[in-house]
Each structure stands twice: as C-alpha cells, then as structure tokens.
Amino acid sequence: MASSSSSSSCSSSSEKKITLKSSDGEALNVEKNVALEFEPAKGFLEDNSEEADDEAIVVPLPNVSAAVLSELIPYVKQRLELSAKPVQKKLIKAFDDQFTRHLSDDKLGELMLAANYLGVNYLLDVLCDVTADRIKNKSVEYVREFLGIQNDFTPEEEAELRAQCPWAFEGVDQD
C-alpha cells in the first residue's frame, strides 16, 4: 500500500489525493483516507491496488452529484479528524447537529441516498435521526406534504384512525 499515514501531525495537504468523478462528470480531489470512507471508492481502490500512482486513479461514483459530494467530503474529513482524537461523544454529536441543523429537506433526502450508496453509516444514522425528528409531533398533513406521501385512506377510515388518541397530549408543534 502507498503510505498515506506517515504520521498524524502530517498536514492533510501532503497526503495522497484521489480523484472522484461525480454523476454529473465533475472531478473532485480528496485525501485518500476520506475516499476510503466511501465503500464504492474503497472497493475500486482495492481492485486497482497494483496501480503505482494513486494520483492517476479516477474513481467513478455514478450515483452521487458533485453538489452532494462537495457537502459530504468536508463532513467526512472533519468527522475523521474528530474520531481520531479521544473526544467525547458529545463533541461528535455537536458537530453532527451543526452539520444537519441547516440542511434543507431536499438536501436531507439527497444526502441520505448518497450516504446509503456510499456506505457512510454514521452519517446515515444521523440523517435518519434528523428525519424522524422532523416528522415527530407534526400534523399528519404536514408529514404527507413533507415526504410527498399520497393519502390513500377514505375520509371514514381517516376519521376513525384519528379518533384513537391514547395519550393526554399537549398540542403538536407548529408545522
């Protein structure tokens, strides 16, 4: 293997770079350790390990757009740096919160698909939490609208379902 891990003090710029090619044909340069976090890239690099020069390798990622990749790459990079240190889980949580807080609903969906395809399970986990958080304590109409789900109940069925209210709830959140 090419030595990508000389020492932890070594600045990231001196690390080996790999080129990822997005679905829309853009080439993005990333550190090898970041690329290895993406399952398809890891597999590709293993298959082409006899290639002497990593710089020459271009990994095709036909399911992820450049826009999504350019969000994912800095996240994964920082997350890797965080998990290399003996930091508390709280810090990672705060970092994840910061990353997800301002994600638009569209972006959230795109990132989930990308995280799933790329096998970045820790990100997928966080994104699923965020989705669950965004649909809990909301009106049924809001949830349908938010996720683009068709209401396939008859009005009678729906009225009956809604009559089942086991808990003495406070009101739901504002949509």
Q: Residue 148, interface with other proteins (CB under 8 A)?
A: yes
In terms of CB distance, is 82 or 113 closer to other proteins?
Answer: 113
How many Å apart are CA 122 and CA 112, to the nearest integer? 11
Q: Residue 39, interface with other proteins (CB under 8 A)?
A: no
Q: Which of 110, 118, 120, 123 binds other proteins (CB under 8 A)?
A: 110
Which residues, listed in sequence order, are joined to residue 29 by a DSSP beta bridge? 19
Task: Tell which positions 18-37 bind other proteins, by CB under 8 A.
Answer: none
Min dist. Cβ of residue 128 to other proteins (A): 4
Query: How many other CB atoms are found less than 10 A from the CB of residue 134?
Result: 17
Positive or negative, the CA dihedral 94, 99, 102, 105 is negative
Query: How many other CB atoms are found less than 10 A from the CB of residue 20?
Result: 25
Tokens 């790999």 locate to: 18
Number of amino acids touching other proteins (CB under 8 A): 43
Q: Residue 163, interface with other proteins (CB under 8 A)?
A: yes
Q: Which of 36, 116, 119, 122 binds other proteins (CB under 8 A)?
A: 116
How many Å apart are CA 30 and CA 12, to the nearest integer? 10
Pick the piece of the chain touching other proteins (CB under 8 A) from 2-10, 25-33, 51-59, 101-109: 101-109
Contact 45, 36 (CB under 8 A): yes
68's enclosing H/E stretch is: helix 66-84
How far, rounded to the nearest angstrom, does the alpha carbon of residue 119 sit from its chain's CA centroid? 9
In terms of CB distance, is 1 or 168 closer to other proteins?
Answer: 168
Q: Residue 118, interface with other proteins (CB under 8 A)?
A: no
Q: Which of 36, 80, 82, 143 binds other proteins (CB under 8 A)?
A: 143
- Judged by the rule CB under 8 A, the positions of this chain that interact with other proteins are 105-110, 112-113, 116, 124-125, 128-129, 131-133, 135-140, 143-144, 147-153, 158, 161-170, 172
